[in-house]
Amino acid sequence: MGFFVETLIGGLMAGMLYSLVALGFVLIFKASGVFNFAQGAMVLFAALAMARFSEWANIALGGDNLFLANVIAFFAAGVVMFIAAWAIERLVLRNLVNQEGATLLMATLGIAYVLEGIGQTIFGSEVYPINVGMPKDPVIMFESLFEGGIMINKEDFIAALIAAILVAVLTIFFQKTPVGRALRAVADDHQAAQSIGIPLNRTWVIVWFVAGLVALVAGIIWGSKLGVQFSLATVAMRALPVVILGGLTSVPGAIVGGLIIGVGEKLSEVYLGPYVGGGIEIWFAYMLALVFLLFRPQGLFGEKIIDRV
Amino acid sequence: MIYRENGQFKTTYAADQQIFTIAQDKVFVLGVIAFAFIGIPLLADEYMFRAILIPFLILSLAALGVNLLVGYCGQITLGAGAFMAIGAYAAYNFMIRIDGMPLIFGLLLGGLASAGMGILFWIPSLRVRGLYLAVATLAAQFFCDWAFLRLGWFTNYSSSGSVSISNLSVFGWGIDSPLEKYLFCLCFIVVFAFVAKNLTRASIGRQWMAIRDMDVAAEVIGIRPMWAKLSAFAVSSFFVGVAGALWGFVHLGSWEPAAFSVDRSFQLLFMVIIGGMGSILGSFFGAAFIVVLPIFLNQVLPALGHLFGIEISTAGISHAELIIFGSLIVFFLIVEPHGLARLWSIAKEKLRLWPFPH
């Protein structure tokens, strides 16, 4: 029983991390109708920027104030993500208004290649550590309930907490601030939003910037767990089933979907994996999403599509 | 002036229903085929065959299959690489498990296996559409990646995980030299291109296009969406499967599941979109572009760096390749969202008037 709960909690934590990446997808899809395949590349790019800036800032500060170096690096990486968002809007999206979904999807794949190339050219292509002072040691909890207790990674716990805070902040940002309202208006209807004076181009820059910040947070958390390296870009592939499971247009969907996928992956790997040779995590997530789609083609919380001739 | 249909009257239905109704088109296509069969073997050297021509031919066959699904039936797929893998591994198993299996049958059976698996994988996708579908197709991709890596039966329990096939021969004619491989692939691609062209002109292709343009309206006028979509999945998977078998047998010789990874799927979709959705010719343009561009960059970049006195490291070159490849894709999408095939039809329009301005 204790082992089951441990796996379950591990799955929930992993799911939280997937949700962070999935959030980026949902934000951009909501505001511009672009299915952003570059989200993984953005995570890599942001994490690389963060890791290297922190390293450089640490050297510049003399190596005794890691916290300050990290804060400087965070803001520097934020600026880099803003420049990236601005460049993407300016050079790509603005020129592809009104194109089909497939074309836009391909364009974001192109952006992903460019981001991966530029990121590795500027920041280097080795494995870099991110040290933001996350505790690495595991703790044992609930010893009174289960025999031997449950081992939880403190790092995972903090990551989940950060993800929860981020979601709360995003929800407030979307619901309460004028910029958030503008974003929702654009998501609802481009033309109507434009006709009441909301500048589309600026909105897109903002939403790509927000997605970039989400990618930065995801990159920091993933990076401090695994180190910043090229494989971080493939995290997007792991987060895709989360998005379709939760619904492309729903922020809560990304969270709930992430939790379901995280738990499903871990449980399947532990209980089903040994019978078929292991390594089933990644396709099991997709199959799980596919089965959900059979019953709800628009995802758990997605908007129902109504067809008219 | 030269290219126009004036004066070419059709007096029979048969004449009206030809594949190429304009005489110039027919001459052009026959000329291209004749050049491919006779001219290129005389001109190209071994490197050209190995590095460019054979990959180009096989990938255009795969792109053709993807184009039938994406361009004609409007169903986006990100799992084409998986069906290449199914074709390759199925053909491999047919070849080694059945004694004396003729090569061509083996390849076609690989395609059929891929078509069968295609139908199986796509049944859940019938309810899903658009971008949800695109992501759902990744399920096939990752499942196949895993299955061919972990399930030993498919690779005949080979210890290294890679499989190889040797001594290809058709009717006692051994396919060993690059030239023979090239001709073998060329025969396949010519036949399949004509099949694809005819399919898209026939009722089945028209059903696909009706589904693509508006599925609800198509259903109202009596087209069964399920049948139309499933047939598109099956035919497309068959084409892609045969291409995968050719890729493994003829081009690679020995291969691992990584040869058919998700990158291959993206590459195929790139070919279709850059070449032109819903165009047979476009598949060839797209394949040529995607095959030649990395080789070109690989050759030109170091030379360019040398010219300016900068020694670029190998890692630097691969990063620069990524950047240039990505930006060229975005550039092409912006300049010509309808693909290279559209440029071709614009050129034909211009030829119609040339040399007069109006």
Per-residue pLDDT, averaged over B41-58, amounts to 87
Considering only CB atoms, which chain B residues are within 8 Å of A109? 266, 270, 326, 329
CA A162/CA A152 separation, integer angstroms: 16
User: For residues B56 and B284, what is the distance between their CA atoms, to the nearest angstrom?
Assistant: 8
User: Which pLDDT score, from 0 to 100, does residue B238 have?
Assistant: 95
Q: How far apart are CA B320 and CA B275, in angstroms?
A: 23
Does residue B135 have a pLDDT over 70? yes
Q: Residue B281 and residue B277: Cα distance in Å, rounded?
A: 10
- Chain A, residues 70-99, CB within 8 A of chain B, namely 91-92, 95-96, 99
| Complex ipTM value | 0.81
Residue B225 has pLDDT above 70, yes or no: yes
| Average confidence (pLDDT) over B154-161 | 76
Q: Using the predicted structure, report yes or no on whether residue B352 has a pLDDT greater than 90.
A: no
The pLDDT value given to residue B313: 73
Average pLDDT for B269-288: 89
> Is B3 a domain residue?
no
pLDDT band for position B167 (cuts 50, 70, 90): confident
Domain contains B25:
no
Is B170 within a domain? yes
Indicate whether B11 belongs to any domain.
no
Q: Return the residue in B121, B269, B327, B332 with the most chain A beta carbons within 10 A, the one to mutate for interface testing.
A: B327
CB contact under 8 A, B333 and A103: yes
Is residue B172, in this structure, part of any structural domain at all?
yes
Q: How far is B191 from chain A (nearest CA, A)?
A: 29
- Closest by CA to B94, choosing from B242, B258, B233, is B242
d(CA A174, CA B309): 52
CB B45, CB B173: distance < 8 Å? no
Query: Considering just the CA atoms, what is the radius of gyration of chain A in Å?
Result: 20
Q: Say which CATH number the domain at B182 has.
A: 1.10.3470
- Interchain proximity B269–A106, CB inside 8 Å: yes
Q: How wide is the angle at C-alpha A207 spanned by C-alphas A202 and A212, nearest 5°?
A: 125
Q: What is the per-residue pLDDT for A159? A: 78
Q: Return the pLDDT at A266.
A: 84
Give the bridge partners for A138, in sequence order: A153
The whole domain housing B236 covers 34-353
pLDDT at B68 over 90: yes
With b meaning 16 or more CB within 10 Å and e meaning fewer, what string describes B126-163?
A: bebbbbbbbbbbbbbbbbbbbbbbbeeebbeeeeeeeb
Inside any domain, residue B75: yes
Shortest Cα–Cα distance, A91 to chain B (Å) = 9
Q: How far apart are CA B77 and CA B56, in angstroms?
A: 21
> For residue B5, is it within any domain?
no
Put simply, whether A274 touches B (Cβ < 8 Å) is: no
Residues A218, A24 contacting (CB under 8 angstroms) = yes
Positions in chain A whose pLDDT score sits under 50: none
**Counted domains in chain B:** 1
Q: What is the pLDDT of residue B237?
A: 94
Q: In this complex, do B329 and A99 lie within 8 Å of one another by their Cβ atoms? A: no
Q: What chain B residue is nearest to A35 in terms of C-alpha separation?
A: B131
pLDDT for B206: 93
Find all residues with CB under 8 Å of B104, minimum gap 6, and list them. Answer: B170
- Domain membership flag for residue B23: no
pLDDT at B235: 95
Instruction: Kindly report the nearest CA distance between residue A195 and chain B, in angstroms.
Output: 25
pLDDT at B17: 83
pLDDT tens, B284-339?
999 998 898 888 888 887 787 777 767 667 777 778 888 888 888 888 888 887 88
For all residues of chain B together, what is the average pLDDT? 86
Residue with tokens 């903002």: A206
